[in-house]
Structure 1
Amino acid sequence: MRVKLHLNLNNVRLRNKMLVLYIFSVFLPIVLTNVIFYNVTTVNVKNQRMKDFSRAVDQINNEFRSEVEDAVTISSVFYTDYNLNQILETDYQEPAEYIEAYDTYFRRILNSYTPVYTSIQNIKIYVENPTMLHSGGIGFLSDEIKQTDWYRLLQEKHNTYPIFIRTQQEDLYLKSEENVSRNTFSIIREMNYYESKKQWKKFLKIDLKTSTIEQIFRNQNLQGSIYLVNDKGEIEFTTDPAVDWRKDSIRYDSLEFPSDAIAFQAEYNYVSYMDNWRIIASISEEEVLKEVRQSREFVFVLACLNIFIPTLIILWITRSLNVRLVEILKHMKKVKNQHFDTIKQEEYSDEIGQLTSEFNRMTVQVKSLIDDVYIADIQTKSLELERRKAQLNALQSQINPHFLFNALETIRMRSLIKDETETAKIIQNMAKIFRNSLTWGKDRVMVSEEVEFIVCFLEIQKYRFEDRMEYHIHIDPSAKQCMMPKMMFLPFVENASIHGIEPLRNGGKIEVRVEREEDELIFSIRDNGIGMDEEKVKQFYGYLESEEEIGERIGVQNVIYRLKLIYGGRFQLLIESMPGEGTFIRVRVPVE
């Protein structure tokens, strides 16, 4: 499958390759990145807004509960006040006696709470004692009062705890309840803490300011409707303008909400006077995602810029490559027909520019040779020379893609797995090898250059294997300046790394040595990898005797074939290997 894909890519024109590269490396990643970014941002903003709304509901819940608890605290003070109880239980012979008691104590405690607790609208005590004057915070427990909702509820509960209920204003008790709006919340409590002989019934009623409650519920952080629901599921207060909470008793579950409405709820538990009461906020999803909707256009514009700018750059670079390569190809076809025209264009310093310069130089030299030497002699010698050069270049073209593919695959896999700072160094090593592979006219390199390429390759492999691979290179100083065929020993190093060390679970070690003995260069490599069996070793030695064409073979067989073309029988190859014991390879070639 890999070979098929490789051949298919080789048959695709450069312009189409760049188009595929653009689609899969620029366009699709940018589109996917922006889509994912928008979706992730939407989810994050929604979650944050949900938390903000939930905190706002909790804030309303706590503030409202605090106001109610203030009223309950005041009721407890009145409930346990012995002197107040005595005033309410006393039979007054004359109104003056009551007025004196009222002015002496009751008026003072009654007026001491209202200014401090700004949420308190009114404090009133309803009594049956007929000797008291019913004014200034004292009211008569009349039949009309006994018909009110709060009085009947107190009679049903029969406990000493206060109750919290929605009531109407004091001046509206005498009117028909059908025409009266219940627009006040009150704390009601029977004052039966102290026993007395007469046991006059006494009830404390503390009204809360509706304006304070509305201020609490109209939270600026909630752009929706808020409902205060009692233990029966009825709405006691709401900011929804469509619900008349003052007159109607509407159940919360009878309301219809939009399909995208989101409900936030806070409950009052473990509070006897508000047990199972709830505060519910209903907010549309559009309100939750309003900030994301506002930034949608910005994300779209940013995505367009991210696509447009790289597209222009890639088109610019692609045109620079394609136009010059097509020009070189056109002149090469002319050379094929013995038209030795040079490429007339400005010299550039990139690889294609260097290739153009080398092509012009080669064209001029070939034309000069043709003009200076007899045609017959040129035909005889150049055929053999070109055949060998074509074979060598073909062999190198087989080695380089194979090696570059493995190296690039290594970088790609590691980059996907882990973001490392070593990537820059690996790319630099790859650039060296790639630049060397493009230098077609240079068949010989110094030993030091070949070792440099080997180091680059081993650094890439060490980046791939991390601590699983170690290597050591020793080069004889006297051998550094010697010339040798390019990439003669690199495939052996690659073979030791890929086929020897990679299968090992714990990795291994590679040792490379380059020495000079008189007129011979000795290249040796030793690894402690999985080794080879005897049949595999015989197969490598068989390449020394084989005379078949190399075809598309790569790797060690390629190197052996090149050595045979260059040195004939003047080189030696030694391979020692056993399964599980590693491999040792030594190559001897004449010094050039």
Structure 2
Amino acid sequence: MFFIRMMNDMKMKKKLAITFISAAVLPLLLSGLFLTGKLREIVINDAFIQLANNVERVRKRTEELIKVPLNISYRLTIDNRMKMVAAQKYESYAEVIQAYREYTDIRDYIQLYKEISSIRVYVVNSGALNNWEFIQPDNTIMAEAWYKEAIEQKGLAGWNLIKDERNGSQQLSLIRSFPVDSLGEKGVLAINVDKQQLRSILDQESFTTLIVDDRNRVVGSNEAEFFGKNLSEIDGDEKILSRQEGSYNTVVNGKASKVIIANLNPENSWNGLRIISIFSVSEITRDANQVIRLGAVVITVSLIFAVLLIYASASLLSSRLLRLSKHMSKVGSGAWETYLQIDGKDEVGLLSKQFNALLRSVHDLVQEVQETNHQKNLVEQRQNEIKFKMLASQINPHFLFNSLESIRMEAHIRRQDDIAEAVWLLSTLLRSSLEAGNGNIPLREELERVRCYLEMQKFRYEDRLEYRLTVDPGLEEHPVPPFIIQPLVENSIVHGLDNREEGAVIKVEVKRIPQGVQVKVCDNGAGFPAERLASIRAELAVSVHEQESQRIGMRNVNDRLVMLYGTSSALSIGSEPGKGTYITFFIPGGATND
């Protein structure tokens, strides 16, 4: 009551403004905020999925790349000719040069495999020479951590960012020790992974992607400034230094970011690599924010235009009402001979005219009453006409069914029996769809709906479609949820007929089993590959509460079965490419109507 009294006491302009803000501005703002949040969430989730796929792709391609030096290292460590060249005692430099010239395997590997850029063999041999393939390790090299680790690991491969003595650059290299002779002398093999090949893998990524070794040194990156740096130099948290797998949210360089890490452990290696991909939330949502800002501008301009229009309309209405109020005040003071002319055919204009008519007929009470009754009758007649037009303009299901029946009869008259049959099937299907409620229905009604649907499809596909409905005796009245079989039949037609030129056979079998009733829908269509079938089964296995509630098809049927009868009644799908697909489910015998 207080609110109504307050609204009645409020000026017209303010009342229209509050009404407009409540009915238009606030819902629009709330909807905009909600949709903006959803848009950002969708964009971030899509970027996260893309990032995870990119990381996995980089991991696999990097694994394929480093398999080449790994295989070459295995071949060289068992190559007796290489060991002999490296460890042989030479009498002169000419003999050394001749031995190096005759052994071409290392040069052949480098020319044959683009995945590697160089191969170096470190063996202590005072009589040998350094030719950048066979190198005499000095005290500085032997003091390096990577050299010591290779000797200690006894033949396992290691991956490190080491310096190449030829050009002084650091490169991702495979390090591996090998026995030189039977006396236990060991050498070290170093194979550089080609930078360009590694860079070509990373350059395809749109987000910052790094490959780091077990010392957190960046051995590969699609951003050149990160190469060779330690992860601790990047402005991030401690998780990025120690975490091996998974994803998490963090702050990098002052920006909210998402990080995904994948581990790469090559076979027969004492250490591995990590693939790290980082994307900034602000960069991902930049385009979405531009769309949001553009939408905000459009909405703001629209609101300003609407406010101006409302203000102009309110001002026009209030000024006319004020003129009418002043005129009524004059009449109240005794000026019965004054008349008011307000243009327009709306309520205000009509009110002014009625007021003038009241003034003209005030001397005759009877005429005033008659005129009032006459106006009342006109108003009632107008209302009745409006109601009649509203009722006549409504299209309800009965009108639709009657129209379809008229079309069907006309088709019969013209001896178009197939069209008449199709219209009857459509009418039956529409009626059953409109009349379907939330409760269970007899199985025969559901099968009749399926039969109508299949007959309509036969009207479309003609002899390309065949179907068989088989029901065990006594099951016709068994209660089932509505639209529990028809979506599966529709799915079979889509996958079984649309992809086959020679047509398809759809079978629906309903059998009695000890637990209740088993329903099987099968076709002889194209079937699903094993990967697609596994994907469908995994999707149907997701919890009902994690799925959208307004979806149709197999997901909808599966969700209703699980919610009504438990997981044991869920859809079971089998398929073979080229042989077809079958879907089964069962309804417990103790099911009752909802």
**TM-score normalised per structure 1:** 0.51
Is the counterpart of residue 301 in structure 1 residue 286 in structure 2? no
Alpha-carbon displacement from aligned partner over 1:5-59 (angstroms, at most 9, x marks no partner): 5555445443332122122123323433444444444444444455555556556
Is the counterpart of residue 344 in structure 1 residue 331 in structure 2? no
CA distance in 1 between counterparts of 2:169 and 2:392 reads 87
Q: State the match for 1:185 in structure 2.
A: 172
Q: State the match for 1:125 in structure 2.
A: 121
Distance 1:148 1:11, change over 3 A: closer
- How far residue 331 of structure 1 moved from its aligned partner, in angstroms, is 4.2
Is the counterpart of residue 20 in structure 1 residue 15 in structure 2? no
Q: State the match for 2:318 in structure 1.
A: 322
Q: State the match for 1:442 in structure 2.
A: 378
Q: Which runs of 5+ in 2 are unaligned?
A: 242-250, 399-437, 440-594
1:204 maps to a residue whose letter is L
Alpha-carbon displacement from aligned partner over 1:319-377 (angstroms, at most 9, x marks no partner): 3333333444444555554625443344x34454445455555555x26xx4xxxxxxx
CA distance in 2 between counterparts of 1:33 and 1:340 reads 55
Given the alignment, which residue of 214, 231, 234 partners 2:214? 231
Q: How does 1:97-496 map to 2 (within 5 A)?
A: 102-104=100-102, 106-107=103-104, 109-118=105-114, 120-128=116-124, 134-135=130-131, 137-140=133-136, 145-158=141-154, 160-170=155-165, 183-191=170-178, 201-209=186-194, 221-222=206-207, 228-231=211-214, 245=229, 253=238, 258=253, 260-272=255-267, 273=269, 275=271, 277-281=273-277, 286-291=282-287, 298-332=294-328, 337=334, 339-346=336-343, 348-360=344-356, 363-364=359-360, 366=361, 370=363, 378=364, 381=366, 385=369, 440=376, 442=378, 445=381, 450=384, 453=387, 456=390
Alpha-carbon displacement from aligned partner over 1:121-148 (angstroms, at most 9, x marks no partner): 3212233567765536223356554333
| Conserved 8 A contact 1:26-1:310 | no
CA distance in 2 between counterparts of 1:355 and 1:340 reads 17
| Conserved 8 A contact 1:183-1:210 | no
2:257 maps to a residue whose letter is I
CA distance in 1 between counterparts of 2:380 and 2:289 reads 65
Q: State the match for 1:71 in structure 2.
A: 69
Distance 1:252 1:113, change over 3 A: farther
| Conserved 8 A contact 1:89-1:199 | no
CA distance in 1 between counterparts of 2:338 and 2:274 reads 92
| Conserved 8 A contact 2:177-2:189 | yes
2:144 maps to a residue whose letter is T
1:185 partner SS: strand
- How far residue 208 of structure 1 moved from its aligned partner, in angstroms, is 3.3
| Conserved 8 A contact 1:134-1:140 | yes
2:15 partner SS: helix
Q: How many residues align?
A: 387
CA distance in 2 between counterparts of 1:59 and 1:338 reads 92
| Conserved 8 A contact 1:92-1:131 | yes
| Conserved 8 A contact 2:219-2:227 | no
Q: Relative contact order (alpha carbons < 8 A, sep ≥ 6): 1 or 2 greater?
A: 1
The range that moved more, 351-360 or 82-91, is 82-91
Alpha-carbon displacement from aligned partner over 1:510-551 (angstroms, at most 9, x marks no partner): xxxxxxxxxxxxxxxxxxxxxxxxxxxxxxxxxxxxxxxxxx
1:113 maps to a residue whose letter is Y
1:231 maps to a residue whose letter is D
| Conserved 8 A contact 1:190-1:202 | yes
Distance 1:241 1:269, change over 3 A: closer
CA distance in 1 between counterparts of 2:286 and 2:224 reads 21
CA distance in 2 between counterparts of 1:318 and 1:171 reads 86
2:378 partner SS: coil
Alpha-carbon displacement from aligned partner over 1:387-417 (angstroms, at most 9, x marks no partner): xx98x89xxxxxxxxxxxxxxxxxxxxxxxx
Distance 1:209 1:451, change over 3 A: closer
Q: Percent of aligned pairs with the same residue? A: 17
Alpha-carbon displacement from aligned partner over 1:34-92 (angstroms, at most 9, x marks no partner): 44444444444444455555556556555554443332233234345566567667777
- How far residue 166 of structure 1 moved from its aligned partner, in angstroms, is 2.1
CA distance in 2 between counterparts of 1:245 and 1:301 reads 44
Considering only aligned residues, what root-mean-square deviation do their CA atoms show, in Å?
5.1
Distance 1:11 1:125, change over 3 A: same
**TM-score normalised per structure 2:** 0.50
- How far residue 285 of structure 1 moved from its aligned partner, in angstroms, is 5.1
CA distance in 2 between counterparts of 1:330 and 1:93 reads 129
Q: State the match for 1:431 in structure 2.
A: none
| Conserved 8 A contact 1:267-1:276 | no
- How far residue 188 of structure 1 moved from its aligned partner, in angstroms, is 1.5
| Conserved 8 A contact 1:233-1:252 | no
- How far residue 167 of structure 1 moved from its aligned partner, in angstroms, is 1.8
| Conserved 8 A contact 1:38-1:299 | no
1:343 maps to a residue whose letter is L
2:109 maps to a residue whose letter is Y
2:381 partner SS: strand
